[in-house]
Copies of this chain bind each other. A is one copy, B any other.
Amino acid sequence: MTLPRPDPDAAPLRSSSEAVPHDLIELLFFAYRDFVGDPDRILADYGFGRAHHRVLHFVQRRPGLTIAELLDILQITKQSLNRVLKELVEKGYIEQRTGRQDKRQRHLHTTATGQDLALRLVRLQAKRINRALASVGPEAAATAAQYLSALIDPSEQPKVNRLLGKP
C-alpha cells in the first residue's frame, strides 16, 4: 500500500502570509494518540478510562486538591468529574477528606492502591518520553517544554505554570 505524497500545490495560502507547519500539526496528533494509548491499555484492566487517569494523575501529583481546583485544571463539568471520581473513590483509589477550615471542601488524596496505579502509569509515560529524549538528545527537553507551554492558551499559562511549580 503506497500512500500518495502531500500535494504542495493543493492549498496555496492566498489569503494568509503565515506558513502552515503541517508536520508539527500532524505530529502532535500522532504523538498524543500513542502517548495516551499506553495508559489506556492498562486502565482497561481496571475498568477505568482516560478520564479516570487524568483525575488520578492530578490527585497523585497534588495531594489535598479540592474539587473546585480539579475542575479548574481539567476544564470539565462537575457532573463529568463526579462520575469518574465517584468510581475512583468507590473502588478505593482515591480518598476524600472534609476540609478542616472550610468543611464544605473535599480534599482529595490517593490511597496506597491509588498511588501504585498512578505510579505505574506515570512511569509508563515517562518511559516513552525518556526514550524520545534519548533519541533526540536531552537538551531537547527544555525546548520541548517551552514549545508545548507556548501552545497553551496564553490566558491559561499562568495557571499551568503554577501547577507545574514554575512561577
Determine if A34 and B152 form an interchain contact, defined as CB atoms under 8 angstroms apart: yes
Given A123-B20, A130-B19, decide whether A144 and B145 contact each other with a Cβ distance below 8 A.
no
- Number of A residues near B (Cβ < 8 Å) is 76
Contact with A136, one of B54, B147, B153, B164 (Cβ below 8 angstroms): B147
Shortest beta-carbon contacts, A-B, top 10? A132-B150, A27-B148, A31-B151, A20-B126, A31-B148, A144-B147, A136-B146, A135-B150, A143-B143, A32-B32
25 A-B pairs in the complex with CB atoms less than 8 angstroms apart: A1-B72, A3-B62, A3-B162, A4-B62, A4-B63, A5-B165, A6-B61, A6-B163, A10-B63, A11-B119, A16-B123, A18-B126, A20-B123, A22-B61, A26-B61, A26-B163, A26-B164, A28-B31, A31-B149, A34-B153, A131-B150, A132-B150, A136-B146, A136-B147, A144-B144
Decide yes or no whether A65 CB sits under 8 A from chain B.
Answer: yes
Q: Are A1 and B132 in contact, with the CB atoms below 8 A?
A: no
CB of B31 within 8 A of CB of A61, answer no
Q: Which residue of B lies closest to A62 (CB)?
A: B4
| Complex Cα spacing A18 to B30, Å | 24
Docked complex: A31-79 residues within 8 A CB-CB of B: 31-35, 37, 54, 60-65, 68-69, 72, 75
Contacts of A10 in B (CB 8 A): 60-61, 63
Complex Cα distance A136/B63, Å?
Answer: 32
- Secondary structure type dominating chain A contacts: helix
A164 CB to closest chain B CB (Å) equals 5
Are A25 and B160 CB-contacts (below 8 A) given A133-B147, A143-B140? Answer: no
